[in-house]
Amino acid sequence: MAGAEARAAPAGGLRIDKWLWAARFFKTRALATEAVSGGKVHVNGERCKPARRVHPGDRLTIHRGQQTWEIDVRALNDQRRPAPEARELYAETSESEARREAESERRRSERAVADSAPSRRPDKRQRRQIRRFIRQDGQDE
């Protein structure tokens, strides 16, 4: 392990698809390449190609599913390391963290509302009860 940590980062930068894979944003390089080619990743506000070189200090915007990360590249590593080590390769901006947390909370609350809705339509007996209840409510006024 010490040999891998002592390994120098490439001087000319690292391909963005390889860095995204090493930082564990994508499970495979092919998925990372597909995301970059599809415009889901921007470097310093600009769309890029998979061969684009990233350097420490670059700001990346990554859209994956319903989540969006805005991160600053801290270090380069062309090997996929354990998750705690991979998190040291980047720093997420505080606005991005807050936005992702708010979006996650919104989805959780939407799911709770959707779960409270009836799972099926009322059957004949239940429809009769609803009609009786509505008629009864209308007669009280």
Q: How far, rounded to the nearest angstrom, does the alpha carbon of residue 112 sit from its chain's CA centroid? A: 21
**According to the model, what pLDDT value does residue 41 have?**
96
Q: With respect to residue 26, please indicate whether it lies within any of the assigned structural domains.
A: yes
DSSP-derived letter for residue 89 is: G
Q: With respect to residue 122, please indicate whether it lies within any of the assigned structural domains.
A: no
Q: How far, rounded to the nearest angstrom, does the alpha carbon of residue 74 sit from its chain's CA centroid? A: 19
DSSP-derived letter for residue 123 is: -
Q: With respect to residue 88, please indicate whether it lies within any of the assigned structural domains.
A: yes
**According to the model, what pLDDT value does residue 130 have?**
92
Burial class (CB in 10 A: 0-12, 13-18, 19+), 116: exposed
Distances (CA, A) of 40 to 22, 69, 122, 127: 17, 11, 43, 48
Q: Structural domain of residue 23, as residue ranges?
A: 9-102
Mean pLDDT, range 81-90, rounded to an integer: 94
**According to the model, what pLDDT value does residue 10 have?**
66
Quote the CA–CA distance of 52 and 14 in Å, as a whole number.
8
Query: What CATH number is attached to the domain comprising 32?
Result: 3.10.290.10
Predicted model pTM: 0.72
Q: How many domains does the chain have?
A: 1
Q: With respect to residue 120, please indicate whether it lies within any of the assigned structural domains.
A: no
Torsions phi, psi for 82 (to 5 deg): -60, 155
Distances (CA, A) of 115 to 59, 104, 112, 121: 38, 16, 5, 14
| Least confident piece of the model among 59-68, 73-82, 114-123 | 114-123
pLDDT tens digit sequence for 88-98:
999 999 999 99
Quote the CA–CA distance of 46 and 39 in Å, as a whole number.
9
